Each structure stands twice: as structure tokens, then as C-alpha cells.
Amino acid sequence: MPPLPRQRLYAIDDIYALPDGERAELIDGQIYNMAPLTRRHQEILSFLHAWIYNHVTKNNGECKVYPAPFAVFLFADDSKYLEPDISVICDKGKLDDYGCKGAPDWVIEIVSPASRRMDYYTKLSLYRSANVREYWIVDPMKQAILVYDMEHDSAPAFYSFADRIKVNIYEDLWIDFPKLNL
């Protein structure tokens, strides 16, 4: 039996070598290209970023809020390079000029048809193993939000775009999804 062809393993340098404007993520030596974003995706991203940023700023909070594209290196070996739609980092020691080294405290992913499997399964597992405290999956097609409070190992909570949702990493932050106005 002939040997199987060797699969190419990619590294972080391959991500940096991508042409300008091309976005991809790196997971265990494999590159996952990211599809162009839709207007609806961008509206949800802008709404969430503004809501969270305004809360943090108004309360003189220590956390930093970054919308995509923003590099997150989940582990020290650079084998997991992700660009979450929103990253909230409360430990400024994790930040450098290249992005976040280690797990953000809160990650939000906005599902697109091309990212569904990645957001619901692959990234959930990665964020859990990296000790992300809270993970939200916002699904525009289903008008649903799935909230994982991983810090307290709670069962996931299901919400709709008609709900006002409590953010678990903050005592006083609620996101009022009916104000999204899609």
C-alpha cells in the first residue's frame, strides 16, 4: 500500500503572509479562510461593540473591547490564531501590538452560513479549553443567542433577539437585543 500524501502544516508566518484584506484563522496547522462579511453581520457587530464599549467606558472599566479583525493567540505555542467577532480582555498583560496572547474573558462570534460548524463546535471547544470565561454565539439566521457561562460551568442559556440578556462577567451589564433594529 503506498504511503498517504503528507498534508501541509501551516504556521503563524503563513497567516502573516496572506495578501492584504484576506482573513483566515489557524488551528493546529490548518488554515481556515474566512468568508466576506455581510451587512447584517456588520450591523450586529457594530451594535454589540458599541453597547459593550459604552458600558466599559461609562464605568471606567479596566477591560478592553476589540471588534474583528483582532488577533487572539489562544495558547503560547501560536497553534491557535483566531479572529473572534468581539473580544473582551480584562487582563491588559495579555495585550501586545499583535493582539491578545491567551484567552479573552469574553468572546462573541456572529454566525454566518460558512462559519456555523466552526462557531458552534470547533471554537466552543477551543474557547472552553483555553479558559474563556464567557462565550456567546449570535445566530442572525435563527435570531438566537446561545450564552455559555464557562466560568461557572453553567448549562448554555438560549435567548432570542427579543430578549434583554445579562452578561455574566459583569454585575451590571445587560444587552437589550430589541434595540438592535435590523
pLDDT digit string, tens, across residues 2-12: 666 667 899 99
Handedness of CA 110, 142, 164, 120 (dihedral sign): negative
The pLDDT > 90 percentage for the chain reads: 87
Q: Could you read off the pLDDT of 134-177 as tens digits, one per residue?
A: 999 999 999 999 999 999 999 999 999 999 999 999 999 999 99
Q: Rounded mean pLDDT of the chain?
A: 94
What pTM value is reported for the model? Answer: 0.94
Q: b/e for 106-118, b at 16 or more Cβ within 10 A?
A: bbbbbbbeebeeb
Angle, alpha carbons 26-31-32 (nearest 5°) = 95
